[in-house]
Structure 1
């Protein structure tokens, strides 16, 4: 069992059932989420990448399938903001307390509003980053939404 991360600790504290999956993280992968899905042998539509963005003046956490791209226009609309932009990696790391490639939606230093691609909710389980490179958490979508207080929307 891997050493606990702020993400796994947050889920344990919330009483949520989850499974951990470890894989060999490739820092040179062109698309980290796709590399993780391939390494774990799961559909990229089930493995959600965690993106940090700014919608209007607010920092938000965005979860979308690893084989899809977030539409900043749709994100802005979902967040009731005029515009949206991705955060630079250094800012995402500073705000979340995690390193890029290991950013989890759970256990971030500061709680922010979260948005999840609505199509991902059709899966029995989804997989998100576990708080370090090479660690993923498998969880029921309903638990993901509940713990994060996430809003589902069409984001891709």
Structure 2
């Protein structure tokens, strides 16, 4: 095999080396993305379990239907999954939350969609908290203030 490889022209040897290095880098990147996806999925499940246990302690009923939560979650995803985030849509969704159960149901309805607004992490799934990190600190503080004003304990 060594003699056959030496028979190739220099450009073919260089091209082969570049292909091997590129393939190795691609494999490492994909492995790291897989690890990140698993970590984020685990965090999302843990978040939902934590919030659910807190909500069950208060035992308040939801004020909206499951369909409404799904529609609000879609509206949030569309507002946060853009290069230019629509803050007003985010504020409008959280203005409809009336108690802790509502926020929990919204988090459940939101799920773990793909974040397609970032070219480098186009196949990373994020929960609602992950998407809310796209907002700056003043915008998150405004959302949290609106929740606190209604007596909702959950914060982003």
Q: TM-score over 0.5 for the alignment?
A: no
Bigger strand fraction: 1
Q: Give the structure with higher Rg (CA).
A: 2
* TM-score, length of structure 1 as denominator length: 0.28
Task: Name the structure, 1 or 2, with higher relative contact order (CA <8 Å, separation 6+).
Answer: 1
Q: Which has the higher helix share?
A: 2
Q: TM-score, normalised by structure 2?
A: 0.28
